[in-house]
Structure 1
Amino acid sequence: MNDPVIVSVARTPIGKAARGSFNITHGADLSGHAAEHAVARAGIDPALIEDSIWGCGYPQGVTGRNIARQAVIRAGLPVSIAGTTVNRFCASGLQAIAMGGHMIAAEGAKAVLVGGVESISGVQPPPDEAPNKWIMEHKPDLYLPMIDTADNVAARYGISRAAQDALGYQSQMRTAEAQEAGRFDAEIAPMTVTMAKKDKETGEVTHHEVTIAQDECNRPSTTLEALQGLKPVRQGENKFVTAGNASQLSDGAAALVMMDAKEAERAGVEPLGRFRGFAVAGCEPDEMGIGPVFAVPRLLERAGLTVDDIDLWELNEAFASQALYCRDTLGIDNDKMNVSGGSISVGHPFGMTGARMAGHLMFEGKRRGAKLGVVTMCVGGGQGAAGLFEIF
């Protein structure tokens, strides 16, 4: 079998959904921008790339019609590169990486472009929701809003509001520190777009050209006291989720170029890391956030590793309640997890996040001298996904 390695990473900054810089930017523009820069950074002949595999949480609207193929065309890449879009909700970008790795390892592909994209601004509220009648009668929790599943996890497993707010604050502070130190700069490709602004008093909408060069969702000036003062989104007993301890709705795209290690060597390309494995698992839909506690052990067992063997963890912070449960149940060292903050502060464009975290793992892992890293996600509908990476 061939040896899949990651040779380049590029992503857009992350914009606030609806109110941010990408609020009228098409999904093909987001994914095309990331793709163009990832291929340019790889420094390879684009004709070597066989396929474009992209994850998207809502592959419809401005991210519909096979956004993976659109990314190729929008990036100005050769039409010989095919494209397919994959959906595993929040783990879609990580799933795309796994599929790219499998194409190289099992099918002998020389190079594959992989990534993830989400334009929540362009698809919310979801236009194509059509719940199945039988499922609604027999397993309605499959359609349960994610906020409710997060509250369920907190109540069921005793995750206090105080602990959730503390994780939210930690995420904000870690992201602020990383941003100030420029630790995201190597992965971000700044982008100039047109943004729509609405006057609150008159309702007039105007358009402005803006250049976004860093993530715009985090709040570096926030305080723990401010987070503790926020009201839960849901009202009533055992309601914990607030705007401060949950991930933000946001827009963005991330791309990676993967190659066979021998092909990369022939091309004179120095890899950033290696894709080592991928595992998924299912769990009850009404507590979907705990999925990683089932996927991670399966991943590590296959690789002959333990939690303590992993130097760096990127565990998606969809909600503080589920991130805390997964961290503590798996026994992950807090100092090794989300060291630059997570989705609570950075933002969470659903299909992008897994690819973003894998890319950040390459750069931050090298900076820290880490050798092994895991990216793990909870997934809507009751799933967990986890990917193992070797960092060079």
Structure 2
Amino acid sequence: MMSHIGNMLPKNASLINTLISGSIRALSTTPQMNAKKTLQDRTGKNIVLVDGVRTPFLLSGTDYSKMMAYDLARHSLKGILEKTGLPKEMVDYVIYGTVIQEVETSNIAREAMLCAGYSDRTPAHTVTMACISSNVAITTGIGLIASGAYETIVAGGVEFMSDIPIRFSRKLRSTMLKANKAKTAGQKLSLLAQVRPADFLPQLPAVSEFSSKETMGHSADRLAAAFEASRQEQDEFAIRSHTLAQQAYEKGYMTDLMPIKVQGVSKTIEKDNGVRVSTMEQLSKLKPAFVKPYGTVTAANSSFLTDGASAAVIMPEAKAKALGLKPKAYLRDFTYVAQDPIDQLLLGPAYGTPILLQKAGLSINDIDTWEFHEAFAGQIIANLKAMDSDWFAQKYLNRSSKVGAPDMEKFNKWGGSLSIGHPFAATGIRLAMHTANRLVREDGQIGLVAACAAGGQGVAMLLERHPDATPN
């Protein structure tokens, strides 16, 4: 099905030329503003994103490696209270996301918030929806507030890839459970005698689809091929991401970052450690990581396994004003989408963005900041080409014409998951905070967040700058 898309898309290269040319200077330019619109409040509560924090996002196996996921989450949950000055007793509910669960802390939301010093009277639950888990935490909170059940909610997410659960084979697990229930030593020995050396081979988790058994990297490679995203285009986009992230650090824009002191690590960790500005010559030497030898997806143009945690406070605007808080943005609207998890696994933004714009009565030109999750450079390019294709709109979106491609001068201007890192369940808060903070710094009004997720799902969210918002 998707294999025909590349032949049906427009052959002009204007999108990629726009993406590359001038993209590195994007951080220092001021976009031309349209007449500013305001968005409708659909909840009756004018729900706001007060503020958010995240730990530095680190390559798995580095400075966080001796921690546990709940402890990393604890830092973000404690940090958001410190940043906002919100008394812990004021938090009505905690919603936290994670993807690769640690069995010992299955409801990690509860364990982490208790360790962070929150009241034991505060309920907490854990959500999961792959790479958009903390988006789900936010929107679940929106629903609870809109219903009148709660007012002050902390939402966030954590991923800890340095220590993932590894299982024995199913046969060995079954034998061990039976042996544990056996009543006599003879029964135990009889069961254990059935175990063979091969039964001890571990089952390692993989970033792959249960339904298709295909890794996400393979899907990304096929998607890039279908949309004719060349290796050069992907490498150029990866360099763009790392370069813009580096510039954002230098300009002091990454204010959602909170320093963290880790036991056993001498230095205070203050910065993400995956940002590496490279050259086309260096990237061109890398071999394909998934589809060998002819694939175009490499380690350099893919996001990497990352440890990190994030948290944010959301509440009704009236509550924020009563507490003397200055919110960053209104949380105006959102949509979740799902599509074919084999050929269209990573096209969530291309599906979600048109739906959300139409729902809000907006055009693509009304969006002042774009923040898309960068799972792979090829995935981003494929989504941008899909959005700019009349054929794709008519064939898959039931639209008469394309929604259009974002202005790259407004797109991921502080880098993205390719450079900053991608702790699966923590990225959604990072996307929302970069949107809110960029709206303030760039004098924008409306920002759009979009991301793909495993299972062929995706999310799109609209944020609107709050009049009281200031840079921090």
TM superposition score normalised by structure 2: 0.74
Instruction: Provide the residue aligned with 1:99 in structure 2.
Output: 140
1:9 lines up with 2:52 in the alignment = yes
How many residues align? The count is: 367
Is residue 2:71 matched to residue 1:26? no
Aligned-pair CA distance for 1:156: 1.4
User: Within 5 A, what are the aligned runs for 1:150-299?
Assistant: 150-184=220-254, 186-194=255-263, 208-220=265-277, 222-236=278-292, 238-286=294-342, 287-299=344-356
Query: Is residue 88–residue 117 contact of structure 2 (8 Å, CA) maintained in 1?
Result: no
Preserved contact between residue 143 and residue 381 of structure 1 (Cα < 8 Å): no
Q: Report how far residue 44 of structure 1 moved.
A: 2.5
- Structure number with bigger Rg: 2
What letter is aligned with 1:212? Answer: I
CA contact (8 A) 2:59 2:305 kept: yes
State how far apart, in whole Å, the 2-side matches of 1:106 and 1:269 are.
22
Cα gap change, 1:257/1:289 in structure 2, threshold over 3 Å: closer, same or farther? same
| 1:357 alignment partner, SS class | helix
Bigger Cα displacement from structure 2, 101-110 vs 49-58 = 101-110
Q: Which AA in structure 1 matches 2:410?
A: K
SS class of match (1:247) = coil
Deviation at 1:67, TM superposition (A): 0.9
Residues 42-191 of structure 1 correspond to what in structure 2 (within 5 A)? 42-61=84-103, 64-123=105-164, 127=167, 141-184=211-254, 186-191=255-260
User: Residue 51 and residue 386 in structure 1: after superposition, are their counterparts in 2 closer, same or farther (change >3 A)?
Assistant: same
| Fraction of identical pairs, as percent | 33
- Stretch moving more, 321-330 or 246-255: 321-330
Q: Distance in 1 between matches of 2:56 and 2:314?
A: 21
Return the offset for 1:365.
Answer: 1.8
In 1, the alpha carbon distance for the partners of 2:363 and 2:107 equals 38
Once residues 51 and 188 of structure 1 are traced to their aligned partners in structure 2, the CA distance between those partners, rounded to angstroms, is: 23
1:324 partner SS: helix
Q: For residue 187 of structure 1, what is the amino acid of its counterpart?
A: D
Q: Residue 157 of structure 1 aligns to which amino acid in structure 2?
A: F
- Please state whether the residue corresponding to 1:120 is helix, strand or coil: coil
Q: Which runs of 5+ in 2 are unaligned?
A: 1-43, 171-208, 388-404, 467-472
Q: Which residue of 1 aligns with 2:452?
A: 378
Residues 178-221 of structure 1: per-residue CA shift (max 9 Å, x gap): 1111111x211100113xxxxxxxxxxxx54332101111113x
- Alpha-carbon distance in 1 for matches of 2:349, 2:213: 20
Q: Which residue of 1 aligns with 2:81?
A: 39
Structure 2 Cα separation of the partners of residues 106 and 54 of structure 1: 19
Following superposition, the deviation at residue 142 of structure 1 comes to 3.8
Provide the C-alpha distance between the structure 1 equivalents of 2:253 and 2:340, rounded to a whole number of angstroms.
Answer: 37
Paired letter, 1:83: A
Contact persistence 1:98–1:387 (CA under 8 A): no
Structure 2 letter corresponding to 1:176: Q
Which 10-residue stretch deviates more, 236-245 or 170-179? 236-245
Query: For the Cα contact (< 8 Å) 1:142–1:382, is it kept in 2?
Result: no
Question: Displacement, 1:33?
Answer: 0.8
Partner of 1:280: helix, strand, or coil? strand
Provide the rounded CA distance (Å) in 2 between the counterparts of 1:84 and 1:352. 15
The whole-number CA distance in structure 1 between the counterparts of 2:320 and 2:168 is: 42
Rounded to whole Å, the distance in 2 between the matches of 1:235 and 1:296 is 29
How big is the shift at 1:303? Answer: 1.4
Q: Give a deviation string over 1:143-197, Cα, whole Å, max 9, x none.
A: 321101101101112111111111001001101111111111x211100113xxx
Offset, 1:333: 1.2
Deviations 1:104-134 (A, max 9, x none): 122342100001110011216x65999xxxx
Distance in 1 separating the partners of 2:335 and 2:167 = 31
Q: CA separation of 1:109/1:128 partners in 2, compared to 1, >3 Å: closer, same or farther?
A: farther
**Distance in 1 separating the partners of 2:52 and 2:211:** 37
Q: 1:192 to 1:280 in 2, by over 3 A?
A: same
Name 1:197's counterpart in structure 2. Answer: none
Amino acid at match of 1:270: K
Give the TM-score taking structure 1 as reference length: 0.89
Q: Is the 8 A contact 2:288 2:294 kept in 1?
A: no
Secondary structure of the corresponding residue to residue 10 of structure 1: strand
Contact preservation (8 Å) 1:280, 1:295:
yes
Deviations 1:357-392 (A, max 9, x none): 111221122111111111111111111111111122
CA distance in structure 1 between the aligned counterparts of 2:91 and 2:267, rounded to whole angstroms: 32
Q: Tell which deviates more after alignment, 342-351 or 322-331.
A: 322-331
**Alignment check: 8 A CA contact 2:69 2:102 kept:** no
Aligned to 1:303: 360
Runs of 5+ consecutive residues of structure 1 not aligned to the other structure: 131-138, 195-206
CA offset digits 1:262-285 (Å, max 9, x no partner):
111111111111111111111111
How far apart in 2 are the matches of 1:362 and 1:192? Answer: 27
Secondary structure in 2 matching 1:41: helix
Task: Classify the secondary structure of the residue corresponding to 1:121.
Answer: coil
Q: Separation in 2 of the partners of 1:357 and 1:333?
A: 18
Q: What is the RMSD of the two structures over their aligned residues, measured on CA atoms?
A: 1.9
Contact persistence 1:291–1:379 (CA under 8 A): yes
Query: CA offset at residue 235 of structure 1?
Result: 4.4
Whether 1:327 and 2:384 are equivalent positions in the alignment is yes
Residues 93 and 342 of structure 1, relative CA distance in 2, 3 Å threshold: same
1:363 is aligned to 437
Mapped to 2, the partners of 1:110 and 1:243 lie a distance apart of 43
Give, in whole Å, the separation in 2 of the partners of 1:87 and 1:325: 26
